Amino acid sequence: MIVVTGGAGFIGSALVCSLNELGHDDILVVDHLGTTEKWKNLVPLRFADYLDKDQFIGRLEDNAFGSSIDTILHLGACSSTTERDATYLMENNFRYTERIGHWWEKHPDTRFIYASSAATYGDGTHGYRDGTDSLDCLRPLNMYGYSKHLFDKVAFRNGWLKRIVGLKYFNVFGPNEYHKGDMRSVINKAFRRVRDEGVISLFRSYHPQYGDGEQLRDFIYVKDAVAMTLFFMEQRSAGGLFNIGTGVARSWNDVAKALFSALGKKPVIEYIEMPEEIQDKYQYFTQADPSALRDAGCTVVCRSLEESITDFVVNYLQHAAHLEPQGNR
């Protein structure tokens, strides 16, 4: 059995979809649906069962699953970079992952892959090279990043990273993020306004090295991020921290132009003030160093930003469509 926590969420449901396409349906989806609309991500997917996250962790620790779990893909977390409840993030993001880690210690034949984040790198002062050499030097800019960084450090200190895999996802975007509210990608949030009004709003820059809209990020399409993730499910000997990104930084202006192009419109960009509460927590540059990924044998070739946005717009956003296995279409 394959367990996917956060399996109704953005990357988690995309993972389940790809697993279905690979012929896997003995999948336990773990999530907390609450009053969100993310249940819609599950509708086209095939899986054996669903458990709320609180039910799952209790049953896991009680050894209710015996030796039936082959792989745990732990994507479940609060992904809001503006969440201010540090107690909640410590319990939901750090402590929950640590509890799975302690279970794995007793069941080391289970493949354990968990989601870390590029937010752990902070302002990039120490670069974006993955691995453990610079763990103690990293200074995340928000509590979300710290909740992820703290588990990376615990996993390293306990020696777990010799056998388990932590994936530092960069700016992932694509279908199935409809439920994420303010945490949706700019592409998703701006789509309707670009389509209907022909204009997009981007944040002004408050850094002298970057012009308005020229802040740079490593944007990766969810389909490529999932392909990289599933590589580590098959490559069971790999352990450590790995970046999940394209290795190419692109500007927000590039994103806007690609969105306009996908809709057949001329770019009209307006620059607006950045909320004061995030100005000192804003990452102006991120770019994954993919060296360790390639050294591990991963040969996934990422789509270009323009190709990714076109696929997202034409095949999903224009129809409010969700990912579904090819065999279901």
Q: Is 180 designated active site?
A: yes
Q: Spot the catalytic one: 96, 121, 144, 178.
A: 144
The C-alpha R_g of the chain, in whole angstroms, comes to: 19
H or E segment to which residue 241 belongs? strand 240-244
∠ CA 224-16-61, nearest 5°, is 120
Give the pairing of strands 250-251 and 216-217.
antiparallel
Q: Is 266 a catalytic residue?
A: no
Dist CA 220 CA 223 (whole Å): 8
Give CA angle at 19 (37, 144), nearest 5°. Answer: 50
Q: Would you call 234 helix, strand, or coil by DSSP?
A: helix
Tokens of 248: 């190419």
Sign of CA pseudo-dihedral 176, 177, 181, 185: negative
Which of 168, 180, 223, 257 is the catalytic position? 180
* Residue at 139: amino acid letter: R
Q: What are the distances in angstroms from CA 19 to CA 51, 88, 312? A: 18, 31, 20
Which amino acid is it at 48?
A
What tokens does 108 get?
A: 């080391």
Q: Which residues are catalytic?
A: 144, 180
